[in-house]
Amino acid sequence: MKNHQPIRCSVMRSAALLLAGLALACGALAQDFSKIEIKAEKLNDTTWMLVGAGGNMGLSVGEDAVFLIDDQYAPMAPKIKAAIAAITKKSVQFVLNTHFHFDHTGGNEALGKEGALIVAHDNVRRRLSADQVISFAGNTARQAASSKAALPVVTVPGAISFHINGEEVHAFHVPAAHTDGDLIVHFKGGDIVHMGDVFFNGSYPFIDVGSGGSPQGMIAAFDRVLALAGDKTRIIPGHGPLADKAALQRTRDMLATLTQRIAEQRRSGKTDEQVRAAKPTADHDAVWGQGFIKPDQFVQLVLNGLPK
Ligand SMILES: [Zn+2]
């Protein structure tokens, strides 16, 4: 129980950046979880998208198993269990973490203690096993090492398939994208994809460069999902509403366009400060700059993630 208080936030720099980052970085402290309801959106006979606080969850329930993708913040665990109990009497057999961030892995301890087998990329176990500092380009959040019960028991370097509930659920690693440990989950039968935080639907992405993410890796990950998706594919993003292929394509185009612009500014010899001051995202900010990650943070994260 020594890690019962896993999140401390240290805000560097300005109040503006504090506001920008708190919603995501320090949500566990800033939010009143008692008011949050888990909403379950049924996508087909066996699959749901669950929305509460923190990252969106995916749930597969059928004759073989209860399979959960991500588990939000630790205080949400009782509500997550209640939401699943409203769908099935069975307990959760598998939890798959799309990456290590605390707004996606907080329920691991509670679910692991009840017997769920936690599955994630190799680097998720490595990062959850030690203290982490997550940088948002201007502020940081500290994520303390997890307890043993919260750690993934099965770790995957590349890809893994679950043959459950009448279909193949295929999880595959996309290198250096949101972090260095992202898994994307493809429900092949149901034509549903859960992208974790590789995809923020409707806002600038958080690229956790300090934890091995990169803009190029994000774009490559988008291309992999665009290649397997059709016009009817439902795409669960890490944050934001349920999406489709067209929304993913728009996000991919935004990121590719802005990464290229920012890279050109860097090549022209500008300092990071000068690139930010040039406002290279200005014509996109009204649409994409209203989420967790503000335009200046996004520009700096892309700069941090460009090849040196
Ligand atoms: Zn994340």
- 168 Cα to the center of ligand 1, angstroms: 25
Q: Would you say residue 176 lies in a domain?
A: yes
Find where tokens 């401390």 sit.
Answer: 8
- 99 Cα to the center of ligand 1, angstroms: 7
Q: Would you say residue 52 lies in a domain?
A: yes
- Residue range 231-270, pLDDT digits in tens: 999 999 999 999 999 999 999 999 999 999 999 999 999 9
State the Cα–Cα distance between residues 135 and 210, nearest whole angstrom. Answer: 6
- 205 Cα to the center of ligand 1, angstroms: 9
How confident is the model at residue 28, as a pLDDT?
44
How confident is the model at residue 199, as a pLDDT?
98
Checking if the pLDDT of 97 tops 50, the result is yes
- 89 Cα to the center of ligand 1, angstroms: 30
- 100 Cα to the center of ligand 1, angstroms: 7
Q: What's 186's domain CATH number?
A: 3.60.15.10
Q: Would you say residue 287 lies in a domain?
A: no
Q: Would you say residue 97 lies in a domain?
A: yes
In the beta sheet, which residues pair with residue 170?
161, 186
State the Cα–Cα distance between residues 147 and 171, nearest whole angstrom. Answer: 25
Q: Would you say residue 305 lies in a domain?
A: no
Checking if the pLDDT of 288 tops 60, the result is yes
Q: Would you say residue 73 lies in a domain?
A: yes
Provide mean pLDDT across the span 148-171: 98
Q: What residues make up the domain containing 205?
A: 7-246
Q: How confident is the model at residue 10 (pLDDT cuts 50, 70, 90)?
A: very low
Distance from chain centroid for Cα 19: 20
- 248 Cα to the center of ligand 1, angstroms: 17
Q: How confident is the model at residue 68 (pLDDT cuts 50, 70, 90)?
A: very high
- Residue range 290-299, pLDDT digits in tens: 999 999 999 9
Cβ proximity of 131 and 215 under 8 Å: no
First to last CA, the chain: 41
Domain count, the chain: 1
Q: Does this model's pTM top 0.75?
A: yes
Reported in sequence order, the residue ranges of the chain that DSSP labels E, i.e. its strands, are: 7-10, 39-42, 47-51, 57-61, 66-69, 94-96, 117-121, 132-135, 140-143, 154-156, 159-164, 167-173, 183-187, 192-194, 234-236
